[in-house]
């Protein structure tokens, strides 16, 4: 199983470059840089700096969306990164969440259609084909892009049934997470349904926080608000989240009051999204999940609340010994 790292680029860029370099030396194979709009540094500027500091680790945005940049720009940025990093780029896309789209006044209009078009456009342009953005069709002509990127993998992060099916149909890989663990089987089923349509064989990565202490649980609370409100209705129902609770939580996130939002997140909600327990218990649970769902990659999510170097070393050791 590959072990990758996902970083919110909210620290200073030289430090993020150093963390990625250390992660590469430890053995992490991929570095995902979050695209969170105004909340953190620009992902492509960050990735450019990381590319200069590393030699082997694969690099990509994880996850961008079809709304904040034109899909052609996303393709061009990824191709530029690929050329700069000697073919180490990949692309992660999703439908975008409240944290990213809210401050930009963008609503998540027709998410499945937009993600489908984003994947098709990027793949066409990576292959050097022409893509017509008005009709959303692929032509045979050679496009005018700067380099060939046939090897660039496109990954999708998804939780809704429709998007999971589209991901199964079109993506090279799907990242599940943070997702409600009770629904993993269902989610993988949707992926397989989509994959059957096209005969696709996507890889599956699993992304979850690994919590081994109460302090880590409290720190995580701030991040979980947007995960909870962006969950599907059936997840919210299973967790017992009322409409009022959801509304208040959503309002606080839109206001940028992440501390206020974190106070509204209940422990029992968080437990469904994380791997929690002693190191041995965490290893057992991850072993079960990865085996049952044929997971090829575990994505470690870096927390800025703790020492990043100790964190990536500890989690790599935990995961590498499964």
Partner 1 sequence: MDLSITLEPNRPISELIKTVQVAESLGFSKCWVADEGIVNRDIFITLALLAEHTQRIKLGTGITNPYIRHPGITAAAIATLNELSNGRIFMGISAGGTITLNPLGLKHKKPLTAVREMVMSSRSLFQGNNLSVEGELFSFQNATISFAQNNIDIWIAARGQKMLSLAGEIADGVILGPLHRDLIDDYIGFVNQGMSLSGNKTKLCFTTSVVFEEKNLEEIRNHMSFNLIDSPPKVKELLGITPEMVDKVRSILVNEGPDKAGKLIPIDWILPFVIMGTEIECKQQITEIQSKYGIDDFRIQLSEGCSQISQLEKFADVFNLKKENNGD
Kindly list the residues in this chain that would bind partner 1 in the complex (CB under 8 A): 12-13, 37-38, 41-42, 44-49, 52, 67-70, 72-73, 75-77, 79-81, 83-84, 102-106, 125, 132-134, 143-146, 254-256
Cα-flanking dihedrals φ and ψ of residue 6, to 5°?
-115, 125
- Residue of 180, 149, 160 whose CA lies nearest to 275: 180
Dist CA 316 CA 25 (whole Å) = 11
Smallest gap, in angstroms, from Cβ of residue 185 to partner 1?
A: 37
Closest to partner 1 by CB, 129 vs 272, is 129
Distance CA 269, CA 178 (A): 12
| CA neighbor of 128 nearest in space, from 118, 143, 146 | 143
Pairing between strand 154-157 and 137-142?
unpaired
Closest approach of partner 1 to the CB of residue 321, in Å: 37
Distance CA 167, CA 189 (A): 12
Least distance from partner 1 to the Cβ atom of residue 251, Å? 10
Q: To which residue do tokens 């998804």 refer?
A: 158
* Nearest to 301, CA basis, from 230, 223, 218, 247: 223
- Cβ 60 to partner 1 shortest distance, Å: 13
- Choice between 65 and 207, CB closer to partner 1: 65
Q: How far is the CB of 22 from partner 1 (least distance, A)?
A: 19
Q: Least distance to partner 1 from the beta carbon of 232, Å? A: 24
Least distance to partner 1 from the beta carbon of 163, Å? 21
Q: 207: which 2 tokens? A: 């992304």
**How far is Cα 89 from Cα 5, in angstroms, rounded to an integer?**
14
Please tell me what DSSP assigns to residue 25: H
Nearer to partner 1, 84 or 138 (CB): 84
**Closer Cβ to partner 1, 16 or 174, answer by number:** 16
CA atoms lying within 13 Å on the CB side of residue 12: 2
Nearest to partner 1 of 65, 160 (CB atom): 65
Q: Indicate the SS3 state at residue 60.
A: strand
As measured in angstroms, the least distance from the Cβ of 1 to partner 1 is 31
d(CA 274, CA 283): 13
Task: Report the residue count for the chain.
Answer: 322
H or E segment to which residue 93 belongs = strand 89-93
Tell me which DSSP letter residue 128 carries: T
Q: Which residue, 78 or 160, is less far from partner 1 as judged by CB?
A: 78
Which of 46/231 has CB closer to partner 1?
46
Nearer to partner 1, 102 or 194 (CB): 102
């Amino acid at each position: 199983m590959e072990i990758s790292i996902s970083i919110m680029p909210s620290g200073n860029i030289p430090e993020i470059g150093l963390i990625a370099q250390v992660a590469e030396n430890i053995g992490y194979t991929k570095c995902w840089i979050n695209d969170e709009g105004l909340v953190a540094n620009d992902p492509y500027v960050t990735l450019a700096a990381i590319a200069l500091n590393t030699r082997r680790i694969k690099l990509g945005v994880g996850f961008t969306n079809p709304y904040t940049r034109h899909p052609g720009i996303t393709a061009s940025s990824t191709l530029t990164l690929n050329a700069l990093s000697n073919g180490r780029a990949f692309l992660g896309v999703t439908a975008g969440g409240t944290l990213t789209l809210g401050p930009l006044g963008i609503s998540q209009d027709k998410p499945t259609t937009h993600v489908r078009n984003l994947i098709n456009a990027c793949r066409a342009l990576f292959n050097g084909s022409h893509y017509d953005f008005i009709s959303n069709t692929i032509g045979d002509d050679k496009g005018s892009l700067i380099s060939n990127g046939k090897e660039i993998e496109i990954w999708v992060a998804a939780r809704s049934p429709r998007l999971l099916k589209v991901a199964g149909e079109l993506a090279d890989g799907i990242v599940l997470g943070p997702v409600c663990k009770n629904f993993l089987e269902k989610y993988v089923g949707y992926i397989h349904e989509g994959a059957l349509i096209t005969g696709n064989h996507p890889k599956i990565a699993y992304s979850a926080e690994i919590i081994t202490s109460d302090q880590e649980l409290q720190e995580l609370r701030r991040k979980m608000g947007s995960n909870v409100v962006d969950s599907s209705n059936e997840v919210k129902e299973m967790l017992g989240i009322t409409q009022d609770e959801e509304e208040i939580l959503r309002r606080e996130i839109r206001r940028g009051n992440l501390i206020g939002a974190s106070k509204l997140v209940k422990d029992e909600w968080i437990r469904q999204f994380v791997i929690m327990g002693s190191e041995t218990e965490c290893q057992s649970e991850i072993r079960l999940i990865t085996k049952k769902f044929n997971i090829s990659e575990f994505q470690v999510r870096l927390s800025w609340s703790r020492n990043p170097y100790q964190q990536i070393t500890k989690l790599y050791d935990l995961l590498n010994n499964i």
